Structure formats: C-alpha cells, structure tokens
Structure 1
Amino acid sequence: MPFSVPVVDITPYVAGGDDAARAEVARAVDRACNEVGFIQVLGHGIPEPVTDGLAGAMDEFFGLEMDAKREYRTPAGINRGYAPPKTESLSLSLGVESANRMNDFFEAFNVGLAASDFPGVEVDPVHYAENTWPDADAPGFRAPVEAYFAEAGRVARTMTRIFADALGVDASVFTSRTDHSLDVLRMNNYALPAGTDVRLDGDLTGMGEHTDYGIVTVLWADRVRGLQVLGTDGGWHDVSPDPGALLINLGDLTARWTNERWMSTLHRVKPPIVGGTIERRRSAAYFHDGNADALIEAIPTTVPAGEEPLYPPITVGEHIAAKLAGSREGRRNAPGRETARVLAARDED
C-alpha cells in the first residue's frame, strides 16, 4: 500500500459534536497513530491570520544579520532563544553517530512555558526557563508568536483528549500529567547564505533523523518539500501539509505510555536543492511534553497479560534532559528501540 498521512477532521472536538461524531474521530486517530504516527489535522480552529502572523514574525527575526541573532543565543542546557546553524545534531538524540557531529544546518528560535507561568507551583527553573525575546531587534516578533503559541497549545490539549478516548482511558490520565507541561515552540528556518556548499550528505543535513521527545507535536510548515517520514516499509517518504492542515505526530513519551501500541515517528528534513541553492523552508513545532516531574509508565491496558512493559518508568524531565544532551550538547544518547529502525532504513530518493 502506498505511503500516505491520514487526514482527520477534528471539528467535533473543537466546535462541538455529538458522541457518535467524536467516537469516529477517536477511531480515525487511533488508526493513524497505530499505522503511521503522523496525522494531517483539519478543523483545528486556528485562524489563518494567526498562522500568517507567525510566518511574518519568523521572517522578521530570521532576516536579521547573524551577529544580531547570536545576541539571543542561550546555553545548550537552556531550551530557549536562538540556535545558529550547525550547532545541533538531532540524530545524536537517538544515539546515532553522524559523520560530522553538529551538522544540522537549520537555525531555530525557541520559546516556551516558564516558571513564571505557574505561580505557586515549584518547578525546575532550567526546564521552565524564562523566555528570551528579541524585542530590540525584532519588535514585531513577540505578539504574533505568543498568539500562535496559545492556539497551538489549545490544539495539543485537544489532541490529548482525543487520545484518551481513542485509548479508552479517563482524560485525567493525560490532564493530571500536563497541568504544568513543558511546552516549547521551536521555530525553524532552513536556508543558507549564498555561495554555501549545499551537498546534503554527512557533512550537511537539514535536520537529522530523530523522534520527538514528548507527548504530541503540533507542526505548522510551509508547503515546501523536505520533511520525510520513515514508513513501516523501511523507506523515507516525503510529507507536506495539505492547505490549511496542521501535521500532528507522536513523541517518545506516548510510545512509552502506550507500550508501543502507538509509536513515535522517525522523521528528518532534507530541503530540495533548486538552481544550486537550498529552497527556503520554514516550520514551527509546538512540543507538548508533559510535567517535568510526571512519571510516565505504560498504561496497564496496553500491556498484554503475562508480559512486562517494553520500557521502565521515567519522568518527563529525565527523558527530555537526556535527549537534549544528545542534540544540543553533542553527547551521544544511549541507543534505544528507535535506533535500530534508523540504521535499517533505506533511502527512497
């Protein structure tokens, strides 16, 4: 069967729907999570002016001179602010050694929920770092980014309500572990200065193969080819969103939670070369990762009788810290169950 990303309209969960309509959405999401791990979501309710505003804000910041952008760089252990090109290698988060370690050429800017967003809750200030805003150099950046952040967070929480119904568990399974969730919006820009060598090989990769770390990712992206998903056939397949759609994919914590009834999806980015240069591509990934102190262990109904869970319990914070140490600090993470899938993959190009 040809590879495709299922399209699911979640309007019954966003704008109100009867039990039958919601049940059909939950069944469709269950199939997509079980078979592909990526979903194209329509009916999400994010107004087009909000996504247009996000795109404009990204253009404003990423259009700055490099020296100005570097002023907003934060230490590797702080998942906020600016990350220049070739300072990360996402494949190391899986324990996969790259030919040239820090070779992903995308640049990014991260914002997220901070300790100040949860007054009265004791949280780790490293995980919940305060944001670094480029107000002095990009005054039009913050407001539209905050507007999109709020909308994407709403969609992520809607997806976890659908997940609970699809899995046949009470919604509190998710809500009790996400009331001070580690949520981060990562805005990515794939472009290189004129004259840069653009061979997409071991020395230069858009974004290396990886799984997302948390519960669910809400992805807005240009309709520019580059995102590739590893299918169950072992091949990499191009994916781009339909008009007006958001891409939804699962993270490692959901794979652990569901004992791999649903799997986190391996993906990478290889933007096309057009006329000797890389065609520019933008994306914004909202990572809904769960409370840093939440313990994630397999939902009992997902573990067959007489068997042990595939993963030991782990806290969200421990898992995220290990993954970030690989991608941002260059320390190869311990190989996991996904690593073998990457090493066995074949290119379809």
Structure 2
Amino acid sequence: MVVLSKPAMEHLSSTTTLFPEVPLIDLSKPDSKHLIVKACEEFGFFKLINHGVPTEFITRLESESINFFSLPLSEKEKAGPLDPFGYGNKKIGPNGDVGWVEYILLTTSNEANYQKFSSIFGEAAEKFRSAVNDYVLAVKKMAYEILEMLADGLKIQPRNAFSKLLMDEESDSVFRLNHYPPCPKIHQGMTDSDLIGFGEHTDPQIISVLRSNNISGLQITLKDGNWISVPPDQTSFFINVGDSLQVMTNGRFKSVRHRVLANSSKSRLSMIYFGGPPLSEKIAPLPSLTKGADSLYKEFTWYEYKKSAYKTRLADNRLGLFEKIAAS
C-alpha cells in the first residue's frame, strides 16, 4: 500500500471523479478489434460486454466465494499462509504493503490448490473447486479471443502471437479472489491505512480480466496522472493491459496503474484472472512492432521479471530496471 500523507489524501478526494466514459467494447460487433487497440493505447483498460462467459458461472463462483469469506477468521486462516498460494489477510506481498483486503490466490494449473480448502469446507470444497475451474476456463477462452483480436488489430502474424503464451500448458497464470470488507473506521476519523483497499500498482502479466460485484472502489489513472473512479458493473468484465504486453508492443499499449479504495459500509468482491506466460518465455518487443523504431526494453524472461517484481513495493515502477536508456 502507498502510505498517503494527509495533504495527499485531500488532493485525492478533490481530483477523483466517477468516470462514465470507460471504453466500452462489445465483442459481438465486427469493429471490436480496432476499438480494443484504441482502448489499449489510450487507457490500457476497457469494459467488455457480450463476452460469452455464462452468467451461472459468475454467480456460482461469487456465491462460493462469499461462503468462504463469511467464515470466522480462524477457519479461513487454515487455508494460509500463502506459499505462494492460499489465503492472505491485510498483507500484500513480502515487502510491507498492506490493504483493507483479504484474498485467495490460486494457480490455474494445479489441483493441489484445493487441499487447504478441503480441511475447511469438507465435501463442499469440491463445489468451490468446480466453481473456480468452470469460471477460469470460460475467462481463459475470452482472454485468448481478446489477445487474438489485438493481434489482428495490430496486423501481427501469427494472430496467436500473444494468446499462445496463455494457452501454453506451462503458462504461469494465476487467479485471485479479493474481498474488501466494510471499513467502519472511515467514519471514525479516517487514517491512511483505512483509505486504501489495495494500493496503486500495475499488473506484471500480459493481461488481467477483472469482474466485481456492484460495489464501487476501483480507480485507474489517466495519462495526465489524475485518478478516476470506474463505475461498477457486475455483469461485465474489465480488461487491464499488463507490463508484459506493454513491453511486447514496445510501449504502444500502456500497463494501467490502478488501485481500490475501501468502502465504509459495503463489501466488495472481485475476481481476477492474470494471464501470464511460461516462466522460461522471453519477453521483448515484437519485431513487427519495432520496424523503424528502437526497442525501448531489454529482453528478459518472465521468470526474471517476476522475480524482480516480487522484490518491489506495489507502487514501484517495475519496468524501470528493464528499460533501455537512450544514449546521451
């Protein structure tokens, strides 16, 4: 979490507004690929409708998640500590970041995820496992489609240049369930730590697919540095450009900086699929996107970047170490 001084908090409240004009992409429309490219260039973020993910998968996973997060803390903690997967509470990462949030972090490729939950849920753990798997499979399919439409819009061949990294059986993708409980202390003289549910950051992976319930809190930054609040929509998805996609497009797409504010009276639940490449995959600007231009980034493996990012604070510029410094 970014620790805000009181002047910073006052600045925050005066410059954040509800932003109704989030780029809206209708996957059923023939011009979607061009609109997606434009949204990734201008915002690194867009809202997706007619996405094809069955409503029953969304509502079932939300129900199972609420069942888990409604348990006593002593029960939930049996699914922790994070190693790196499992249950976490307040602490975000190993470097001192905290937030008004509890969460479940799962790999998308390992059934061992659910052993911890069996001791809590018993037979109900299978319902939780099934709900997560159905949802993640549907969201993965949607993410592949989005990335292939991006390749089409950028005139990249082959069109699976991005999506193949998520389809690879060694893909290092993860899934996260975040629960932001009501924060009553906000009305009791708000402190810095009570303000932030999840501190400002970019996502290091290729693409993030977010869905939340109908409670506000998500904010993104614009190019001018101002924060804007994104109106919630529980039937749609929100897509984030990640650091790795910014590198692969040589900076044409921007990894969106975002955060979540705490709510004084209502619970917010979000589900995020982070599409990552295999650990050994080399990440660098695609040659077709650097014609006549210098590469802005050094080549690195996803393992190298992930290891480096794991050592940083949330708000740090993780890509800074991998940028090529222009010759003076």
TM-score by length of 1: 0.77
CA distance in structure 1 between the partners assigned to 2:160 and 2:138 by the alignment: 21
1:200 positional shift = 5.2
How many equivalent pairs are there? Answer: 295
> Greater share of helix residues, 1 or 2?
2
Per the TM alignment, residue 304 of structure 1 is displaced from its structure 2 partner at its CA by 5.3
AA aligned opposite 2:162: F
* Counterpart pick for 2:106 among 102, 111, 118: 111
Instruction: Give 5+ residue unaligned stretches, structure 1.
Output: 13-20, 93-100, 117-128, 339-349
Checking the alignment, whether the CA contact within 8 Å between 2:185 and 2:194 is kept in structure 1 is no
Aligned to 2:128: 141
Tell me what 1:55 maps to.
62
Matched, 1:102 2:97: yes
* 1:4 aligned residue (2, 14, 21): 21
Find the counterpart in structure 2 of residue 301 from structure 1.
288
Name which of structure 1's ranges 312-321 and 245-254 shifts more when overlaid on structure 2: 312-321
Q: Which of 39, 52, 70 in structure 1 is aligned with 2:77?
A: 70
1:309 maps to a residue whose letter is S
User: Could you tell me which residue of structure 1 aligns to residue 49 of structure 2?
Assistant: 42
Structural mapping, 1:229-240, within 5 Å: 229-240=220-231
Pair 1:48–1:198, CA change in 2 (3 A):
farther
Q: How far is the alpha carbon of 1:33 from its aligned partner?
A: 0.5
Superposed counterparts of 1:121-160, under 5 Å: 130-138=113-121, 139=124, 140-160=127-147
Partner of 1:246: 237
| TM-score (norm. length: structure 2) | 0.81
Q: 1:107 touches 1:190 (CA, 8 Å); kept in 2? A: yes
Q: Does 1:267 align with 2:251?
A: no
Q: Please tell me whether residue 206 in structure 1 is matched to residue 206 in structure 2.
A: no
What is the CA deviation profile of residues 286-335 of structure 1, one whole-angstrom value per residue up to 9, with x for unaligned ones?
00111111101001232252x431111111122123223335xx9x9675
1:10-21 equivalences in 2 (<5 Å): 10-11=27-28, 21=30
Relative to structure 1, the CA distance from residue 223 to residue 198 in structure 2 (aligned partners, 3 Å threshold; closer, same or farther) is farther
Q: Which amino acid aligns with 2:297?
A: Y
Q: 1:189 aligns with which of 158, 179, 184?
A: 179
CA RMSD of aligned residues (A): 2.7
> Residue by residue, what CA displacement relative to the aligned partner does 1:207-248 show, whole Å, maximum 9, x if unpaired?
000001111111111121100000112210001343521111
**What amino acid is the match of 2:117?**
P
Of 216, 219, 230, which residue of structure 2 is paired with 1:225? Answer: 216
- SS in structure 2 of the partner of residue 326 of structure 1: coil
User: Identity over aligned residues, as a percent?
Assistant: 26
Which of 281, 284, 294 is the matching residue for 2:268?
Answer: 281
- Contact kept in structure 1, 2:216 and 2:232, CA below 8 Å: no
> In structure 2, what is the equivalent of residue 326 of structure 1?
312
